[in-house]
Structure 1
Amino acid sequence: MTILKTYARLWVDDLDASLPSLRTLVGTEPELRFAFDGIELAAIGDFLVIAGPAEERARYAHASATVIVDDLDAVVAGLTAAGGEITTTEATSPTGRYLYARHAGGAEVEYVEWVPELVDRIIGPVDRRLGR
């Protein structure tokens, strides 16, 4: 299993109001933007901006980060072998498969295995033999 990208989560009320300052800070446009289950998300640089009503955002606030991986099944095997547990079972979104897991020390993280088109567009070619 390889970690392809890690996003710090930013919680905002209004996605459009938050993006101009992030565009300036990061120096780029969002790589990804979509609506999902009552919230809006945008990936810009190393930030995942999560917007929407507070009660909708609260459903996802238990995770401290979003980690993009190349093999979600390997994440499950590795985390459970190390004493972690899956807290939200695997589901799908417009970006691919995801789940939430609590590590043995208590940290909770969202892990996502992107669809190949996103990996190619945002990360570039991945050679699993080289760990990237």
Structure 2
Amino acid sequence: MAILKTYARLWSEDLDAALPPLVELVGEEPHLRLPFGEVELGAIGDFLVIAATPQAAANLPRATATVVVSDLGETQAMLASHGAEVTFGPTQGPTGSYFYARHADGSEVEYVQWRPELVARILT
């Protein structure tokens, strides 16, 4: 198992307003932008912007980071061996498989195993 990418999560009500300063800061265009249920996601550099109405955002887990890993099953087993508890998933999403885990210290993180075509397009 390896960590392939880590994103800081930013919450917004308007993805179109949130992305321009990040484009200037990072110096590139978003490499991922897609709807997901009641939210819209935009990834640029090491930021993942989650845009939702306050009502939709209230229903979502508040993970502190999104971590893209090479093997979700191995990650889940390793985290469990350190006292982490899966709070949602594993399940499928538009980018691949994912789950949320609460670590023994109480922090919550989203772990994702991207589809191979995303790994090839974004990370290579």
> Normalising TM by the smaller chain, what interval?
over 0.9
What's the Cα RMSD here?
0.9
Is 1:51 equivalent to 2:51 in the alignment?
yes
The answer to whether 1:96 aligns with 2:96 is: yes
1:18 is displaced (CA, Å) by 1.2
Aligned AA (2:77): A
Q: Which amino acid aligns with 1:70?
A: S
Number of residue pairs matched by the alignment: 124
TM-score (norm 1): 0.91
Matches within 5 A, 1:110-129: 110-124=110-124
Whichever residue aligns with residue 87 of structure 2, its letter is T
Q: Which residue of 2 aligns with 1:82?
A: 82
Distance across 2 between alignment mates of 1:41 and 1:56: 13
For structure 1, the 5+ residue unaligned runs are 125-132
Q: Is residue 2:34 matched to residue 1:30?
A: no
SS in 1 for 2:59: helix
Measure the CA separation in 2 of the matches of 1:38 and 1:100: 18
State the Cα distance separating 1:104 from its structure 2 match. Answer: 1.0
Name segments (4+ residues, structure 1) moved above 6 Å: none
In the other structure, the counterpart of 1:129 is none
3-state SS, counterpart of residue 41 of structure 2: strand
